[in-house]
Amino acid sequence: MFKNVYNWIDERLDITPLWRDVADHEVPEHVNPAHHFSAFVYCFGGLTFFITVIQILSGMFLTMYYVPDIINAYASVDFLQHQVAFGQIVRGMHHFGASLVIVMMFLHTLRVFFTGSYKAPREMNWVVGMLIFFIMLGLGFTGYLLPWDNKAYYATKVGVEIAASVPYIGSYIADFLYGGDIVGAQTLTRFFAIHVFFLPGALIAMLAAHFLMIRRQGISGPL
């Protein structure tokens, strides 16, 4: 059945080369944990991506209940966690995943560093990786405000005050992030928009660039 459907489509659109081009590539021995167990360090990049996918999916589902409003945000998070079936789990995935993604990214960066994979011709991928790192930090910072509890409020206040200490342009950065003079209604809507639209969009673009470059250049050689 499935095969027939596939063949029917393939006859018309010739889709086999499309996915073969993505899927068919050698996994060299030195990155395959089945050959050398220590090669598991090469898995951290994939694990980072796996958790990123979980963040994006769980985040999309959280927005089915969450409202970015100073009166209702806390109540909506309380509701989705305690009243909605599996809410504990879906919010838990997003909450703990946010920390785990940083851990995985850090381990992946260590692997790249100690295998010297950032060297020519892969310098641009190191730079893109750093941009991904900062986007992730931005997602963590903006997401942390969303539950609108005391911890969220003060973390944001302190975070923006640190940004405000940048010479010359600090106060403009702070006004832009606050959306006013205080952590308030406009800060919450702003952080929500940045958290669920702007940064994920930028993240996906950077990940695409990251993976395209890896396919072009292949995985770096053994030590």
Partner 1 sequence: MSNHEQHETAHRPVQRKEMSRRQFLSYTLGGTTAFMMGGAVLPMVRFAVDPLLVKKEGGDFVKVVEESKITAEPQEFKFKIHQVDGWYESDPELVAWISKGEDNKIFALSPVCKHLGCTIFWNTKGHNEYDCPCHDARYSKDGKNLAVANSPLDEYEVEVKDGFVYLGPIVPNTRS
Out of 17, 33, 92, 184, which residue is the one contacting partner 1 (CB under 8 A)?
184
| Residue 70 interacts with partner 1 (CB under 8 A): yes or no | yes
Given a contact cutoff of 8 angstroms between Cβ atoms, the answer to whether 24 and 168 are in contact is no
Site string for ligand HEM, 121-150 (x = CB under 6 A): ---------------x--xx--xx-xx---
Position 49 contacts ligand HEM (CB under 6 A) = no
Q: What is the radius of gyration, based on Cα positions, of the chain?
A: 21
Burial of 80 (0-12, 13-18, 19+ CB in 10 A): buried
CA distance 79 to 67: 11
For partner 1, which is the closer residue by CB, 31 or 160? 160
Q: Give whichever of 187 and 220 is closer to ligand HEM, judged by the CB atom.
A: 187
State how far the Cα of 96 lies from the Cα of 78, in Å rounded to an integer: 17
Structure tokens at 206: 């950077």
87 part of the interface to ligand HEM, by CB under 6 A: no
CA 33 – CA 156 distance, rounded (Å): 42
CA distances (Å), origin 29, targets 34, 35, 48, 118, 148: 8, 6, 22, 20, 49
Measured from the CB atom, is 60 or 158 closer to ligand HEM? 60
Binding partner of residue 179 among ligand HEM, partner 1, none, CB cut-off 5 to 8 Å per kind: partner 1
Q: Does 45 bind ligand HEM (CB under 6 A)?
A: no
Tell me the two tokens of residue 68: 């970015």
Can you give the binding site for partner 1, defined by CB under 8 A? 70-71, 154, 157-158, 161, 172, 175-176, 178-182, 184-186, 189
Can you give the binding site for ligand HEM, defined by CB under 6 A? 52, 55-56, 59-60, 62-63, 66, 77, 91, 94-95, 98, 101, 136, 139-140, 143-144, 146-147, 195-196, 200
